[in-house]
């Protein structure tokens, strides 16, 4: 049994070393991918209107989220300058109805460490 235990410990140590080497390689490759893509990502999340804003503004008619382009957001002028239009581009735009899960699915590959909190 002692010989078996010793061989198992040796095997475990070898596997732990292999896991460490592979994790370091994964991190290096992840960093290489990030550098190739560019290190800065800009996401835009438009929050839902608060109840008092809903009454006052009657929604978000001045914001447009093109369904065919999840990277764009357009703002058209209000009352006095309706002809003005501003177009913005981001790595991704999340409209007010986007869920936390949808946002996390988009960024999960970018997250290196995420602490686990009790639920």
- Tens of pLDDT, residue by residue over 15-50, are 999 999 999 999 888 888 877 777 777 889 888 888
Sequence spans of domains, the chain:
1-39, 40-113
Instruction: Measure Cα distances from 33 to 50, 100, 116 in Å.
Output: 39, 25, 26
114 pLDDT exceeds 60? no
What is the pTM (predicted TM-score) of this model? 0.53
* Residue 75: count of CB within 10 angstroms of its CB: 14
- Tens of pLDDT, residue by residue over 65-74, are 887 888 888 8
Q: Find the mean pLDDT for residues 72-101.
A: 80
């Amino acid at each position: 049994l002692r010989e078996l235990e010793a061989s198992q410990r040796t095997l475990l140590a070898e596997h732990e070393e292999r896991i460490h080497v592979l994790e370091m390689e994964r991190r290096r490759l992840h960093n290489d991918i990030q550098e190739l893509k560019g290190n800065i990502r800009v996401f835009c999340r438009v929050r839902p209107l608060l109840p008092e804003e809903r009454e006052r503004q009657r929604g978000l008619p001045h914001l447009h989220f093109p369904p065919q382009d999840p990277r764009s957001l357009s703002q058209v002028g209000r009352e006095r300058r309706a002809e003005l239009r501003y177009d913005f581009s981001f790595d991704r735009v999340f409209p007010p109805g986007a869920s936390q899960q949808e946002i996390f699915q988009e960024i999960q590959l970018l997250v290196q460490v995420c602490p686990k909190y009790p639920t």
